[in-house]
Amino acid sequence: MSEKIAIGPGRPFVKEIALPSGADEHDLRAAMVANGKELVAYSPVKLEKETMPSPVVNPPTPAEIKTNEELYLTGLRMEQFHSPTGDPNAYWQEALRRDPQTFG
């Protein structure tokens, strides 16, 4: 189906079209063309069912982490992503407690 219309900022185009029984909306494509050039087009995307991602696993407690580098990186990640479940300072303080000469 093709239709010639005049549109503008004060004259938007809206049209509802009833699909025939059994028609798949994903086979449809709507486009606006001016002077032989396509300005905009739309075709519904068919979404596939996907499984939910696994929930975020909280990091081990500071005492359970083996190295100061892991403590630092864990705290950094928690700070960068604004972790609601933990305090990055606890990881950095544990690194300071273990090696005050390097981190102090």
Query: Taking the CA of residue 2 as centre, how many other CA atoms within 13 Å lie in the half-sphere pointing to its CB?
Result: 3
User: 52-81, pLDDT tens digit by residue?
Assistant: 999 888 899 999 999 999 999 999 999 998
- End-to-end Cα separation, the chain, in angstroms: 74
How many independent structural domains does the chain possess?
1
User: 4-31, pLDDT tens digit by residue?
Assistant: 888 889 988 888 888 889 999 899 898 8
Quote the pTM value.
0.51
Alpha-helical runs (H) found in 41-103: 68-80, 88-98, 100-103
Judge whether 51 lies within some domain: no
Judge whether 72 lies within some domain: yes
**CB of 91 closer than 8 Å to CB of 78:** yes
Judge whether 26 lies within some domain: no
Domain extent, residue 83, equals 62-103
Q: Tell me the mean pLDDT in the region 89-95.
A: 94
Neighbours of 61 (CB within 10 A): 11
Place 86 in a pLDDT band, splitting at 50, 70 and 90.
confident
The residue count of the chain comes to 104
